Amino acid sequence: MSAAVSSAGSTPDTTPDWHMHRDAERYLDRLLRYAHELDRLPLAGDVAVFRFGRTFSHGAIVTEWPVVIHAYWAVGAGRVGDVTRYPLAGREVRFFGMT
């Protein structure tokens, strides 16, 4: 998600470990400039944001729920993953669509 934001001409205003030490929802604040929260399961192209540490700070692009594209330091960048498996399984998640 950070790479997508950067390629759109913006820069992320968080550090990689922000979510571990602070409560401010910086990631969501930036996302809400471009998207709105959904009250339904996501469709292809929607964004899923997972709680990591103290904040919702891990974004993924939905391909077909529960399959997403996301980056995670331990498994590499730009991976296709199933949210029912590590590292996303069991994490609180919120869904967003582009405005």
Cα-based distances in Å from 82 to 8, 33, 34, 68? 26, 27, 25, 6
82, 66 contact by CB (below 8 A): yes
pLDDT value at position 12?
52
Q: What is the pLDDT of residues 30-59, one digit of tens each?
A: 999 999 999 999 999 999 999 988 899 899
Give the count of beta carbons closer than 10 Å to the beta carbon of residue 18.
17
Q: What is the pLDDT of residues 47-92, one digit of tens each?
A: 999 998 889 989 999 999 999 999 887 766 778 999 999 999 999 9
C-alpha 70: how far from chain center: 8
pLDDT value at position 34?
92
Query: pTM, whole model, 2 decimals?
Result: 0.79
**Spatial distance between the Cα atoms of 76 and 46, rounded to a whole number of angstroms:** 22
